[in-house]
Amino acid sequence: MEPTALQNDRLGGLFTTLCQINSPPRHEREVAEYVKGFLRGLGLSVKEDHASQVVGGNANNIVANLPANIERAPKIFFSAHMDTVTPNPNVKIIIQDGKIHTDGTSILGADDKAGLSTILEALRIVVENNLPHGQIQLLISVCEEVGLLGARALDFALVDSDFGFVYDSGPPVGSVIIEAPTHDKLEVRVIGKPAHAGVEPERGISAIQIAAEAIASMRLGRIDEETVANIGIIQGGQMTNIVCPEVSIKAEARSWNPAQLDAQIAHMVAEFERAARKFGGRTEIHHERHYEGYRLSEADLPVKVVRTAAQKIGLEAPMRRTGGGSDASVYNARGLPCCVVGTAMQKVHTHEEFVLIDDLVRGVDLTLAIIREVATIR
């Protein structure tokens, strides 16, 4: 087989096999065992960390290593995650007209098994053909879909890479995400005072009224070109004849500009506190920096490598930014430079999710081109 030629049925088979393994967050053990067996079959050394003890799941992050067969090339990593957004125990896959999708009763799980299968197939081709390469690590995480918990729990002592590539975005294949926002979360407990709503409501303090006053006064949604904010969950109340004594609220804000994010969070906190004072209640507010944002340029080595490799095989490599997070947010914050690379996944997290086999093929071709490009760097 030519080094860059692909057996489409083998690649498609790998992808569909991974999709048919149920792996919601904290339940990735079966797919982790498959991935470990696959990599060990290629001769890679495979280790697990102890992330399960942190995230409360049944599987750990996988760190695999393929030693270099050339000298002085940079050490790189490829990363994908094993979990899918929802349980998917009985996925029925349909392959038709070059497209892989389900029967419409479940998600496909292409996020992130499109990325995972692309990386695995490329490594298989590298090993089978003894292609020249520097050291390659794989960082395969758990619990990405529930707040990047796996990457946040990764044992970075196992990581030995100069820079890398996270396969966790949609087409076009070869696109590069160079900017992601900083993401903060708020958990708010609004405390009022119960009273009989029909007999003496004036003795009560409605936590719902406090929350409503605060939220109605907040700037939410699209704040500016760089910042968004949202109230996502409101829970409270017991019965209609009781003045509500307590409400719990979960909110978030994200921004590509950390100063704007800080200002938005301060505004939201101030509105909750102002409304509580107005009605005589109180608040308990927990603020968490969920993950840090990052900003790369076309001069940064991960971006430069992807774009050069893509152009050499005839792919465009547009640079873009995202409003979401990925494991790249964690890795960059830990001083491990990386960019997110576009893969075959489309309409993810829905029952209309699909991949084009041609896009899977392009993803593997791109991965091989990246490995070739890195091998030329001294």
The residue out of 261, 291, 321 marking a domain boundary is: 291
Residues 304, 287 share a domain = no
Looking at the structure, tell me whether residues 61 and 186 fall in a common domain: no
Number of domains in the chain: 2
Same domain, 317 and 360: yes
User: 15 with 103, same domain?
Assistant: yes
Q: Which residues form the domain of 212?
A: 182-291
- Selection from 327, 300, 321, 365 nearest residue 78 by Cα: 327
Dihedral sign (CA 314, 319, 322, 328): positive
Domain presence at residue 126: yes
Domain identity same for 80 and 215: no
| Closest of 38, 39, 22, 19 to residue 30, by C-alpha | 22
Report the C-alpha gap between 109 and 89 in whole angstroms.
11
Same domain, 107 and 131: yes
Residue that terminates a domain, selected from 227, 261, 291? 291
**Which residues are designated catalytic?**
83, 144
- The pair phi, psi for residue 29, each rounded to 5°, is -55, -45
Residues 49 and 141 occupy one common structural domain: yes
Query: pLDDT 10s per residue in the chain (378 long)?
Result: 343 444 578 999 999 999 999 999 999 999 999 999 999 999 999 999 999 999 999 999 999 999 999 999 999 999 999 999 987 788 999 999 999 999 999 999 999 999 999 999 999 999 999 999 999 999 999 999 999 999 999 999 999 999 999 999 988 999 999 999 999 999 999 999 999 999 999 999 999 999 999 999 999 999 999 999 999 999 999 999 999 999 999 999 999 999 999 999 999 999 999 999 999 999 999 999 999 999 999 999 999 999 999 999 999 999 999 998 999 999 999 999 999 999 999 999 999 999 999 999 999 999 999 999 999 998
| Domain CATH code at residue 191 | 3.30.70.360
1 domain residue, yes or no: no
Is residue 200 located within the same domain as residue 327?
no
Whether residues 324 and 366 fall in one domain: yes
- The Cα 321–Cα 323 span in angstroms is 7
- Of the residues 226, 259, 291, which one is the last residue of a structural domain? 291
Q: Which pTM does this prediction carry?
A: 0.90
Half-sphere exposure of 347 (CA within 13 A, CB side): 15
Both 334 and 200 in a single domain? no
In a domain, 107, yes or no: yes
Q: Are residue 351 and residue 362 in the same domain, yes or no?
A: yes
On whether residue 238 sits in a domain, the answer given is yes
